[in-house]
Structure 1
Amino acid sequence: MTTASRPTLVIGNKNYSSWSLRPWLLLRQHGVEFDEVRLPLDTPEFYATIGKYSPTGRVPVLIDGELVVWDSLAILEYSSERWLDGAGWPQQRAARALARAVSAEMHSGFQNLRTQCPMDCVRRSTDPVSAEVQRDIERIGVLWRDCRARHGAGGPFLFGGFSIADAMYAPVALRIISYGIEVGPVERGYIDALLALPALREWLSDADAEQRAAKRDSR
């Protein structure tokens, strides 16, 4: 399905698939060359095709030669070791431990935000979010401010330079924008830094084109 030198990343819609964005963003931002297979979620095409790539029937999936890696965080970890010489995580041990902890919390938590405010890159809403979502946002704000205060001196991201932790929280930043959620100045500065990433700008441009094409096809 791919060559050993050029992996394949199987993803869902760029407008909606938050889990696909995470490894895509890390690989693209670090200049790792890969083939992209995009399958539109919840369509006959998706269900007819995904079994060729994924043992779980979900995206994302990374294929590197004979190796198949599913789950976003596992792909991020593997990519850091395989192509980035470990640069996906901060170099300093305490920062690296914290980066892993906040990434794991994102991986398993914030269910209210994820279910009530699904990623929709082109959406713009000013409707108030629920108290449950607001609690998730407040916890995320605490995490972001703490990481920036303790380890952010070297750059604009959670641990200074761009890391796996930032890839994990990029979809949250997009949700905050899409749903018009108010955040503090530290959080806003961090979101602006993410939005300035060339790779994230590319993803958002693709998501916009994807949605415009879908509207044309529905006419």
Structure 2
Amino acid sequence: MSAPAGKLPIVILISGRGSNLQAIIDQAVSGGLPVEIRAVISNVPGVHGLERARQAGIETQVLDHRGFPDRATYDRALMELIDGYAPGLVVLAGFMRILTPDFVRHYARRLLNIHPSLLPRHRGLNTHARALEEGDAEHGASVHLVTEELDGGPVLIQAQVPIRPDDDPDTLAARVLEQEHRLYPEAIRWFAEGRIDFDGEQVRLDGRPLTEPVRLET
């Protein structure tokens, strides 16, 4: 299965409304992101992200985790489904599943996630409420490579937003989401353009060690 010349084949995994998926689709359709989205796969039937993909003419698949006896069995089936599309990059866009070590190792160095915090702060869930509760001055989003450590892989790029005195979790989440829609296509573009490589365990961007995340101007 070959991709159009100069385009990176990707598969996107979702569990919900797919707003980051839409940002990636928009960039791909406009020609600003040199990728071929070969499939969008959801573990939840009927979510809006699947309709977004269909409207863009992208193949969709549903692999409902509730039909499997355990996480390992599900992840093996998911790997088989993904590999049928031969992606160069697997993109988690609101895929609300903890992945098994076997899955993560299988896609090592080609598995991306976006997380709504300035990692390593606030790994896990409820990041916006936690940032407010802890009195943070700023919050944001991070794109990182996925490793076996939850939200612990190398962070490639971040964007920050100031926390305002009148913020609540919903208002803060909305501003962070705007930055996510800028961040994710940019990180994927680096892979598509061959700007990311590795020297052992060290991630490199444009041939130089990426010792700290790139900060996208907001």
Fold match (TM-score > 0.5):
no
Higher RCO (CA-CA < 8 Å; seq separation 6+): 1
Relative to its length, the structure with more helix (as a share) is 1
- Taking structure 1 as the reference length, the TM-score comes to 0.31
